[in-house]
Chains A and B, each alone.
Chain A
């Protein structure tokens, strides 16, 4: 992964704070902070469009080039805007390629599941990423899970996935990565949660008639 780590050209941010960060974003830059390895944290900015594009394509390891000095960094955290989807800031941690680190890796499902050929079946994938521990040079871009033999009612758990060599799973082994379920309707059984129009909810704090009589 590291061999093709994209190079991001950074510029040192002279003025810090939300006001100046907003001006940077308006100018097409993305404010980031680089920290770790006992060095002082550095506030820099990178090209927003290029960086966000890389992040959306699954890149997690970058080479930051600030005034000719290159550092390998790992994407540690992302801040989103008020609507929860636009990236407005990133945390980048300095790492060595031989350093063991924790990272989240996206899970990609491959193949057409056999169970989906039955009527009213649905592929659910509640967990879309796994937490792994490995050396940075061994960090995979994605973990591919073959679901072609997955039948109806069956599930693939995180513990059953074959990971690349040198990669250790930290997520719960019982996490369900893919599951074929019977849909049984488009919504989560509305009939169960609905009540008739005349019904009123039970009031927990309401005194019962017997208690009232005692008083």
Chain B
């Protein structure tokens, strides 16, 4: 069961592939938990991939601590069926994706030790289509 919005303004949207490979200026630090998994690449992460990461964390952590998913798949991506001629309008929505820029925090964990969070988030990183790294809360002034 993948994540998707409950209400949208438009059923389909343009791809908007430009300005993707940039640094995240928002959501790029650990805000809710103590430890986080940060993306080092820009990509569209599908709802199924996010769900796979969540399940991987759940299986390893055995419901210890709390996992926060910091991104939400709110972008509909359409795809034409196989062996279909071009034209005849835009295809139906195939999946939902989260637009992730370099530096975006993907997951956060709270209520567990650093080593346990690291082990958990390493397994989550295996499910991601981007390079990731483990980070802790940064200093605030």
Contact A186-B23, Cβ < 8 Å, known A194-B1, A194-B2, A201-B7: no
Contact A129-B140, Cβ < 8 Å, known A124-B66, A188-B68, A204-B9: yes
State whether B29 touches A187 (Cβ < 8 A): no
Contact A183-B102, Cβ < 8 Å, known A55-B139, A78-B139, A85-B135: no
Q: Does B54 contact A (CB under 8 A)?
A: yes
- Across the two chains, which residue of chain B brings its CB closest to A196? B1
How far does the Cβ of A198 sit from chain B's closest Cβ, in whole Å?
11
Q: Does A67 contact B (CB under 8 A)?
A: no
State whether A201 touches B4 (Cβ < 8 A): yes
User: Which of these, A78, A186, A187, contacts B141 with CB under 8 Å?
Assistant: A78
Chain A residues within an 8 Å CB radius of B66: 122, 124, 183, 186-188
Q: Does A27 contact B (CB under 8 A)?
A: no
Q: Does A16 contact B (CB under 8 A)?
A: no
Chain B residues within an 8 Å CB radius of A185: 58, 63
B residues 102-141 in Cβ contact with A at 8 Å: 102-103, 110-111, 135, 137-141
Q: Does A205 contact B (CB under 8 A)?
A: yes
Interface size on A, residues (CB 8 A): 40
Chain B residues within an 8 Å CB radius of A126: 32
How far does the Cβ of B60 sit from chain A's closest Cβ, in whole Å?
9
Main secondary structure of the interface of A (DSSP, over half): loop
Chain B residues within an 8 Å CB radius of A193: 3
Q: Does A75 contact B (CB under 8 A)?
A: yes
State whether B29 touches A85 (Cβ < 8 A): yes
State whether A205 touches B103 (Cβ < 8 A): no
State whether A183 touches B10 (Cβ < 8 A): no
- Across the two chains, which residue of chain B brings its CB closest to A205? B9
State whether A194 touches B7 (Cβ < 8 A): no
Binding site for A on B (CB under 8 A): 1-11, 23-24, 28-29, 32, 38, 40, 54, 57-58, 61-69, 93, 102-103, 110-111, 135, 137-141
Binding site for B on A (CB under 8 A): 55-56, 60, 75-78, 80, 82-85, 87, 104, 120, 122-124, 126, 128-129, 183, 185-188, 190, 193-197, 199-206
A-B contact pairs, 17 of them (CB 8 A): A55-B139, A78-B139, A78-B141, A82-B23, A83-B23, A85-B29, A104-B141, A122-B110, A124-B66, A187-B54, A190-B54, A193-B3, A194-B3, A197-B2, A203-B7, A203-B11, A204-B9
